[in-house]
Amino acid sequence: MKQPREPILNVPAIVVATIAALVLVHVARALLFTPEQDIDFLAEFAFTPARYAGPLAGQFPGGLGADIWTFLTYALIHADLVHLGVNVAWLLPFGSAVARRLGPLRFLCLFAVTSAAGALAQLAAHWGDAELMIGASAAISGLMGAAVRFVFQRGGPLGLWAARDADAFRVPAASLAASLREPRILIFLLVWFGTNLAAGMGTLSMPGGEQAVAWEAHIGGFLAGLLLFALFDPVDQKHDDVTVM
């Protein structure tokens, strides 16, 4: 009998398109822009708290439009190939799981919301700071937070009795309260938060470590995905008495 293919190996088209967009932006910057043009591009499309407060407020290009779109566009820009490659490596498994459950439109909406949540967290933590923030890490962290709500469920892709078909990504999700009582989820959260805090404090070396790690943005995106998941989920939720496997 022919064995079914693992769903995780069949990357959804919307995830492929997202990765293609990230690569296209990076290639365009590397091959088409002069250093001066790249600086102008970053000033208009990267995110920086200094755009909204401090002595540089109102002096960035793009005006009101950029004040809004930089909450999203920063996620499409990466510092170098290592930065891009690491984010793509995390986007493939978690983005694929979430896209299979939510579908393309909901996936893009969640990606956008968690990107904006990451920028808001960075703005709150670094009010008036002139350092630019780029990268899809906050949005990918949000996809991780969303995935936590269903991947460990009975019959889910990481459940103890994991299914091997599309139904594994459509199992009802536990409530947030029930999820936070599951030991494996708690371990995942402790490791994830601990890693980000250690990276932010400089006690853990990260790929592309010459750039500061925007760990506050990662946490903002993750919490948005974890807490807002039900608003995007098309599958009926379970109640608090559910057993997460």
Own/partner contacts of 185-193, CB < 8 Å, gap of 24 or more, are 185/148, 185/152, 185/244, 188/148, 189/148, 192/144, 192/222, 193/219
In angstroms, rounded to a whole number, what is the distance separating the alpha carbons of residues 173 and 236? 7
Cα–Cα distance, 161 to 49 (Å, whole number): 46
**Which tokens go with 1?**
């009998």
Per-residue pLDDT for 24 more than 70? yes
State the maximum Cα–Cα separation within the chain, in Å, rounded to a whole number: 69
Residue 228 CA to residue 142 CA, distance in Å, equals: 10
CATH of the domain at 39: 1.20.1540.10
Domain count, the chain: 1
Tokens matching residue 21: 């967009």
Average pLDDT estimate for 3-26: 82
State the pLDDT at residue 238: 59
Closest CA to 40 of 60, 55, 57: 60
Tokens 């009010």 correspond to: 127
| Within-domain flag for 141 | yes
Q: What is the pLDDT of residues 191-206, one digit of tens each?
A: 988 888 887 665 444 4
- pLDDT tens string 167-187: 778 888 878 888 888 888 899
Q: Quick check: 145 and 225 in contact, CB under 8 A?
A: yes
- In this predicted structure, what is the pLDDT of residue 201? 67
Domain membership flag for residue 189: yes
Q: How far apart are CA 224 and CA 143, in angstroms?
A: 9
pLDDT (tens digit, 9 = 90+) per residue, 106-155?
A: 999 999 999 999 999 999 999 999 999 999 999 999 999 999 999 888 77
Q: Which residue has the higher pLDDT, 56 or 146?
A: 146
Q: Which domain holds residue 20?
A: 7-232
Q: Is residue 241 part of a domain?
A: no
pLDDT at 70: 97
Answer whether residue 24 is part of any domain: yes
CA geometry: angle 219, 115, 100, nearest 5 deg: 95
Does residue 245 lie within any of the structural domains?
no
Residue 213 is encoded by which pair of tokens? 């790690």
Residue with tokens 């820009």: 77
DSSP string, 36-57: HHHHHHHHHHSB-GGGTSSTTT
Domain-embedded: residue 242 = no
Classify residue 149: in a domain, yes or no. Answer: yes
Look at residue 242 and tell me whether its pLDDT is greater than 60.
no
- The pLDDT assigned to 194 comes to 87
CA end-to-end span of the chain, whole Å?
28
| DSSP single-letter state for residue 133 | B
Q: Considering the chain, what percentage of its residues have pLDDT values greater than 90?
A: 62
Between CA 162 and CA 226 the distance in angstroms is 21
Higher per-residue pLDDT: 71 or 150: 71
Strand (E) or helix (H) holding 129: none
